[in-house]
Structure 1
Amino acid sequence: MLAEAVVRVGESLVSSDLPLTERIRLLTDVDNEACKNFFEHVWVVECIEEQVNVRLMRIGEKVKEGKKETFVVDRAKNVAFPIIYPNGGNPLNAQGSYALPCYLMYDRHIKMLKNSGEFAKEMLFPRFERTLCMRHMDNEQKFSYAKKIADLLSRQVATFVYEEKQLGILMIVNPLFPAYQYASQQLDPQRYIKIGDSRIETDKSVYLDGKMLIEAIISARLDEAKTLGRDINQVSTFTNKIETEVVSIYNKSWLWLSSTWEAPKSIYWGDKEWTRGIKVDRHSYEAFLYGAQLLKQLTVSLSNATLKEIFSPHTNVEAKKKMKSSSFEKIFGVPLILPLHDGEVKQLFKKYRRILKKEEHSREALHMKLLAALDGIIVPESTDDYRLMLLYYSGDLSRGDVHIRAVIDDVIPSVASKVQQILKRLNRSELFSIRELFGLDRDENKEDVRLSSLPAMLANAYGPGYVWSSMQSVFHRQPIRMERICQVVARKLTELANKQQIFSMRQELVFYYSFMYFLDVYYQIVLNDQREGITLQDFLVLATKYHEGTITANDLTSPESLGFVSGLALRQFSRSYGAKTKKDFINHRVMKFGSKLNPEMIWKNGLIRCEELARQWDLGIKENFRTTLAYVLIGFLRAKEEGWLANKKEHMMTAFWSGYLMYDQVAKE
């Protein structure tokens, strides 16, 4: 269950030594980039009995970046204003529950300041109704309080209202609200956060009690959860014990389950009966809240280049080329580290902290860009006492429009590490050797996006519809096969051959044999097994025997070996034929009228006619060709009897083009 995983992540934060200020940053939106301009105008209203005063503050400064000015928030002071950025709905309206009377002011609210009655009724009063520390007031008291503050702001602040767009924050300080403290001396900075000097109590400063503030924030979020369900003396889904109070798992600051989306809940539940699905006690809800906020910080979006590789039509080369990288819906991913034992919870937070701080890691650290296409995230080295979970989703989290694409759970770190080693070795050495084998430049600084991450490689091999399931198979040490990629590559090679795009054909074969290398080593290292089927090394042995003229019938006992050697033979013949006739043998004699090449055409239109044409044109072809041709022709007779020409067509064609395009480089060596 995803919610259980989030709770387990949050437990590490709840029990950690994280300072109060960092907890406040995590539970609020003070560091949210979308909120930075609100700190340009901060109004602090003090109310002590009948005395009311207001001061305008700027929490930060404008910095010039080139020709553009941008507002930079002062992170040493912004934590004193625990704002919550609304997710979904109309932000001008009061939403959810407020821990303190600290509210975001949009441009429309600021323009209302000139009309105190409207400001009190439309902006202040609805928020007072949802503010926890004002619950003891009745509606008449709340409205009177709102009118008093609105009148003050209208008199003293209206002159600061301009025509251009403005954003701000309004904080109301009252010593009757428990989280506020007045003191003439500096209070303990580990617990108390200074708001500023008092305008009413001379020689005193106003502080926020961080501990009480955090309790208030959690109570406010819990209060929101109650709107979708609350029960008394019920068994919590997470503790499996009877709890005094349980609530729904609804969390407005992390809208995985939106009250306006029908899918997560049963049709038999009422609007406020979500506890019939999951019952959360206060402690588990606090952990869920922390975990959800931490995951928001760990979430990264997949790059446009990766999305194109994953979701483009993988069987049509031209269609893929024409697809724009920006035409795909954004997908977000987040890695979760989960302990198997409760005793590892305290160590867990240290791992998350290292991820967020992007500290240097050992060689055994897991690079999520390579393993999961999550750029910039490196998971510290972990023992198998932990498990990884990879979560992918699309949609707008702030609007509750979230669609989970995949959850790959129970990933053993040692297995992920072995997969990473294979991918690194492939990209750092084997890829360049394979490129050379097909006559492509050995450019070690050039990255092949198809092989830059496991999801991109699997998507190109199997198609977009199989990317998540094949990732699941790899990380769970399950066999994966070559059949589908063989079919896909054969189709692409046929398409490219008709258009005579030889360079693109070489690129497709480089990917094919790179994937074959990954698969071979994956079977050896991860599965401790040997993959069935021919390998690239087997082909190189056949190529050597071909040039030596030592091919025998025993070397042509599979569709792949027969296809590969026939490719070598036709390429050798084609070179001699082209030198005499100035024409390409395959296009001139074998692929007639733009037809799609298949094994039977190679046999009947190509190989059978080679000896006749060699004598007709006096080609003077080397003896190794004739020695091999006899065995190849016998091999095609067997292939017809075995049904390979139809049933193993893709295997034969992929191997044929491999031999045909590899010939020149192998012959040179």
Structure 2
Amino acid sequence: MLAESIIRIGRPIVHSDLPIQQRIRWLTDVDSENCKNFFQHVFLIELEEDAAAFHFIEVGSVEGKTFVPNKLRNNAFPILYPNGGNPLHPQGVYPIPCYLMYEAHIRAMNQPDSFAAEVIFPRLKNSISYREKNEEQLREIARRVSECIAPHFDYFIKQEKQLGILYIYDHSLPEYRLLENRYEDDDRYLWIAESRLSPGKQLHIDGDRVLAGIVEAKFMEAKTLGSASNAISTFTNQEEKEVASIYNKFWLWMSPTWEMPRSIYWGKEEWTRGIKVDRASYEAFLYGTQLLKQITVPVTSAILKEMFAPVASAEAKRHMKPSSFESIFGVPFVLSLLKDDSEQLYHKYKRILNQSDKSESDIHLEILAGINKVIPPLSDEYRLMIVYYSGELSKGDMHVRKVIEDVVPSTATLLQNIIKEINRKELFHIVNILRCNPDKEYHRLRSLPSLLANAYGPGYVWSSLQAVLHRQTVTTQRLYKNTAIKLLELALKEDDWGMREELVFHYGFLAFYSRYQAEVVQRDERVNTVADWERFIEDYHAGDVSLSQLQSAEELGFVTGLLLRQFSNSYRFKTGKDYVKQRVMKFGSKLTPDMIWKFGVLRCEELAKQWSMNLGKKFHFVLAQVLLGFLEAEQAQTLRLDKDKFMTAFWSGYLIYHKVKEEEQ
């Protein structure tokens, strides 16, 4: 269950030494990009017995054309940003009387009666600080606040759009502290402003009490969708004094407006029939969601294109833009298998948040998962989990694409090292033998998601990623099929460079596949790599190719490619035309092993005599072996069963072939 994993992440944070000021930042929206302009107009109303004072504060400054909140002060203003619904109406439960004010609210401040009744009073009713007050007392407080603001309306009102914060500092509330000195570095007391009712003294909030109020406010919000007393918690499996639904506006993966996760047999306020969360687990859930929000990153746009662009058409993929795809976000989870590991786990979370301290031994999720995050080295006493989703979490429009659980860190590290080494060493050799640009960035080989997507297609991204991260067997059948389709498409357009680049990926993936099978799955499965083809080329030029070397469709195809390329070079010298494109591919938009055999290889001897081609004895010897190989392949039906392997190997031999000195002369 996703909620259980979030709670497991949050528990170490609850019991950690995370400072109170930082906890308030995590559990409120003071640092939200959506809220920065609200700090430009803070309406602070100071109440003490029958006295009231108005403060107009700007918590921050304008830098260029943008307002930037003061990070040293803004956490003393514990605001909560509404997710969904009409923001002009009261949203949820407020820990203390600190409310966001929109333009319509600010414009109404010169009408104290309606402002008190329609804006302030409904919010006071939903505030933890005032839950012991009756309605008459709350209406009186609302009246005093509105009447304190109204005389100053002309001073603060502007023509342009305004956003602000209404902050009621009631000296009678235990969350506030009036202190002789201004505390700026203290972890518990957070400074707001100098008092006007007690000049020279300083207004502070008590961080401990405010933090307790924030957690209580969130738990009360959860109870709006269901609660129970003396019930078994889903997460502790013990009877708890009070349980509630899992509803949480920080992580709207279960939104009350989204009907899908709720059974048709539940009422709108009966979510506890599915999940019951106790108060302690819910607090851990809050911290867990906030940590995950901070480390959630979108899948890199270049990788996203590689993952979901059409794989069977090189031309279609070439014209796709990264902006053509819906954004997908990745969330990495680090979970411990040990019960008493809170302190170590918390330090690992801090390392994940602080991405500046990176090393080669870290787990680089951009390589493994396509998301730009680094996880510190982990032993196998931990597990990784990655959640991919699309949509807007803040609006409850979250669609989980894939949850990959129980990834063993040693497996992740091994896969990462294999991909790194292929790009550092083997890729250079592949590019060199195919005579491609060595300075080009081959993004398809840089990460595991792009490797798998380009090999198997976008419809198999999640299943293949799940399989590889869990050491499960994968195959190469779809790789050969997709490569053969793209090579034919590019061949018809006479795009030799495009074909070479497709083969760079093909053999790059086979290099990965070979090492994956040997080192990760630990299974002996051999595939033909460029190193194998180099040995074939040596034998070909030496005239040592024998029928025993042509028993598979792939090996027969590669040598056929070498043979026809050599013949085509001589044919072009005599006629000025390309042999394969004029004689073999002239029958339409397809090319099959049978066509290569009957329209290409079988006619070589005849045309060599017709045009007096001096091809040499080695060519004719290999030609004879290839013809015998086709006869045996026809009888064994390997040309039909392994058509894609034959065609991929044929184009490989055709493009890899290079002239020897004798041929050049």
Normalising by structure 1, we get a TM-score of 0.97
183-192 or 599-608, which deviates more = 183-192
- Residue of structure 2 in register with 1:203 after alignment: 200
Alpha-carbon offset, residue 159 of structure 1: 2.4
Question: Is 1:97 the equivalent of 2:81?
Answer: no
Aligned letter for 2:292?
L
Partners of 1:438 and 1:665 within 8 A in 2: no
Partners of 2:514 and 2:527 within 8 A in 1: no
Question: Is 1:488 the equivalent of 2:482?
Answer: yes
Question: Is 1:170 the equivalent of 2:166?
Answer: yes
2: CA distance, partners of 1:241 / 1:44: 45
Alpha-carbon offset, residue 345 of structure 1: 2.1
- Residue of structure 2 in register with 1:582 after alignment: 576
Question: Is 1:156 the equivalent of 2:152?
Answer: yes
Partners of 2:430 and 2:530 within 8 A in 1: no
- Alignment match of 1:291 (pick from 283, 288, 291): 288
- Residue of structure 2 in register with 1:88 after alignment: 84
Alpha-carbon offset, residue 450 of structure 1: 1.3
Question: Is 1:623 the equivalent of 2:617?
Answer: yes
- Residue of structure 2 in register with 1:319 after alignment: 316
Query: Residue deviations 1:445-489, cap 9 Å, x none?
Result: x42221222111111111111111111111101111100111011
Partners of 2:488 and 2:591 within 8 A in 1: yes
- Alignment match of 1:478 (pick from 463, 472, 482): 472
Aligned letter for 1:295?
L
Partners of 1:496 and 1:504 within 8 A in 2: yes
SS at match of 2:110: coil
Question: Is 1:24 the equivalent of 2:9?
Answer: no
- Residue of structure 2 in register with 1:38 after alignment: 38
- Residue of structure 1 in register with 2:407 after alignment: 411
Aligned letter for 1:428?
R
Alpha-carbon offset, residue 231 of structure 1: 1.0
Between the two proteins, the alignment pairs up a number of residues equal to: 662
2: CA distance, partners of 1:492 / 1:437: 20
SS at match of 2:61: strand
- Residue of structure 2 in register with 1:659 after alignment: 653
- Residue of structure 2 in register with 1:455 after alignment: 449
217-226 or 351-360, which deviates more = 351-360
2: CA distance, partners of 1:435 / 1:362: 28
Alpha-carbon offset, residue 253 of structure 1: 2.0
2: CA distance, partners of 1:291 / 1:117: 42
Alignment of 1:165-564 (within 5 A): 165-185=161-181, 189-375=186-372, 377-443=373-439, 446-564=440-558
588-597 or 284-293, which deviates more = 588-597
SS at match of 2:465: helix
Query: Residue deviations 1:385-426, cap 9 Å, x none?
Result: 111111110001111010000111101111100100011111
SS at match of 2:658: helix
Alpha-carbon offset, residue 623 of structure 1: 2.4
Query: Residue deviations 1:256-275, cap 9 Å, x none?
Result: 10001011111111111111
- Residue of structure 2 in register with 1:109 after alignment: 105
2: CA distance, partners of 1:131 / 1:532: 68
Question: Is 1:55 the equivalent of 2:55?
Answer: yes
Alpha-carbon offset, residue 665 of structure 1: 7.8
1: CA distance, partners of 2:416 / 2:101: 48
Aligned letter for 2:93?
S
2: CA distance, partners of 1:178 / 1:643: 86
Alpha-carbon offset, residue 138 of structure 1: 2.0
Query: Residue deviations 1:506-552, cap 9 Å, x none?
Result: 11110000000000111122122222443332222112111111011
Alpha-carbon offset, residue 553 of structure 1: 0.9
Question: Is 1:573 the equivalent of 2:570?
Answer: no
Unaligned runs of 5+ in 2: none
- Alignment match of 2:638 (pick from 637, 644, 647): 644
Unaligned runs of 5+ in 1: none
- Residue of structure 2 in register with 1:74 after alignment: 70
2: CA distance, partners of 1:382 / 1:277: 34
2: CA distance, partners of 1:567 / 1:104: 72
Partners of 1:433 and 1:442 within 8 A in 2: no
SS at match of 1:361: coil
SS at match of 1:342: coil
2: CA distance, partners of 1:474 / 1:622: 49
Partners of 1:113 and 1:158 within 8 A in 2: no
2: CA distance, partners of 1:90 / 1:527: 54
Q: How big is the alpha-carbon RMSD for the aligned residues of Structure 1 and Structure 2?
A: 1.5
Question: Is 1:2 the equivalent of 2:21?
Answer: no
Alpha-carbon offset, residue 192 of structure 1: 1.0
160-169 or 176-185, which deviates more = 176-185
- Residue of structure 1 in register with 2:11 after alignment: 11
Query: Residue deviations 1:184-205, cap 9 Å, x none?
Result: 2456812111111111123321
